[in-house]
Structure 1
Amino acid sequence: MDIFLSINNRKQIIQLPIVPSEFKIASPMNNETFTTINQGDIKVIGRRGLKSLTIESFFPSKHYPFSRNRAYKGWEYVEIIESWIGKRVPIRLIITNTPINLAMTIENFDYGPQDGSGDIYYSLSLSEFKFINLDKKKVK
């Protein structure tokens, strides 16, 4: 399994060098509960909410044999992701060997060194981005 992040239809792509051992995708529902006089609480099934996930791993400062990608080192990954945040564009998340291929927004990006190795540990929180499709109508 590999994790790829990209922007602008794969114009710029990064492959995460160290794949986390686990991740979970939250897939919420927008259900609502109402209290009625005769029946008490009732549940109304809503539409699906936006999926989200958090990736926690590290960007290596040197080449490790278990690294999936050696295109960049440590802080270079941080600079790329920070530049994407500055561009205010959705990113594409692809996780190979899974059906996961989602447009996402970066909700939070925490990073920093922690163990003296020079590696940059990070937590990247992503939320699903839905492209808006508006129906075009002709004015007569």
Structure 2
Amino acid sequence: MPTNAYQIWLTFDGEKQKLQFPVHPEKIKLKQGSSNQSVDIVGLGEVTIMQEKPEAEVSWSSFFPGNPFPGMQVASLTWPEDIKFKIKTWMGSKKPCHLIVTGTKINLYCTIERFDCDEEGGAVGDMNYSITFKEYRQPTIRQVKVDAAAQTASVPKTEERTDNTVAPKTYNIVSGDCLYNIAKKQLGNASKWPEIASMNGIKSPYTIYPGQVLKLPT
């Protein structure tokens, strides 16, 4: 049972995929510095463009348990290698994730900048990790408004919406394929073949044929 009021969630693909971190870190680091820029504009000399608040950086270190223990924040255990695979997949997707730490002000879209992990010595199955996120903002084209008299420039604030949905991956079936092997080769986990079957409306794992195009979980 959870021992703290807050929870740490990472979601992906429009909240369709979710991960709750099973063990809370001792400390979460939130970093945010100044990002004002000085630039030369012809005829005005040097002016300062006041930016919006800089992107935040969030990081922490903890571990993924290989066996249940009282300090877990989740109801059921997910094998550390499966969590590692999921995070690595999201990290390589070039799409932002949504990081939420309930009970705090951390609620932002972000990219996974760094993810390092290794086996816990002396604790069979446990995996130590450290992770760093950087706040993501949807790129927009903005106009700079210049006040020649005051020698200042500003960037008008615009409404931004972050789209982190991912188009489904597909796979063309060839002779000799089965859902078990497709899941193992394409997803890195053979036990995910029922997800493939469900996504494609396949009621029996044997009713697939060469040339059929399957949608795959991301």
**Fold match by TM threshold 0.5:** yes
1:9 aligns with 2:14: yes
Aligned CA-pair RMSD: 2.1
SS class of match (1:64): coil
Q: Which residue of 1 aligns with 2:134?
A: 127
2:76 equivalent to 1:80: no
The answer on 1:115 being equivalent to 2:121 is yes
Inter-partner Cα distance in structure 1 for 2:77 and 2:122? 22
Higher Cα radius of gyration? 2
AA aligned to 1:81 is I
Count residues in correspondence.
126
Distance 1:71 1:90 in 2: 25
Q: Quote how far apart the aligned CAs of 1:83 are.
A: 1.1
The one-letter code matched in structure 1 to 2:82 is E
Instruction: Point out the structure with the larger strand share.
Output: 1
Identity of aligned residues (%): 30
2:79 is the counterpart of 1:53: no
Give the SS at the match of 2:87: helix
Displacement after TM superposition at 1:114 (Å): 3.0
Match of 2:107 in 1: 101
| Bigger share in helix | 2
Would you identify which runs of 4 or more consecutive aligned residues in structure 1 move more than 4 Å? none
The structure 2 residue matched to 1:24, chosen from 6, 25, 29, is 29
Superposition deviation, residue 122 in structure 1: 0.4
- More relative contact order in 1 or in 2 (CA 8 Å, sep 6+)? 1
Distance (whole Å) between structure 2 residues aligned to residue 63 and residue 49 of structure 1 = 39
Gap runs ≥5 in structure 2 = 1-5, 39-47, 143-218
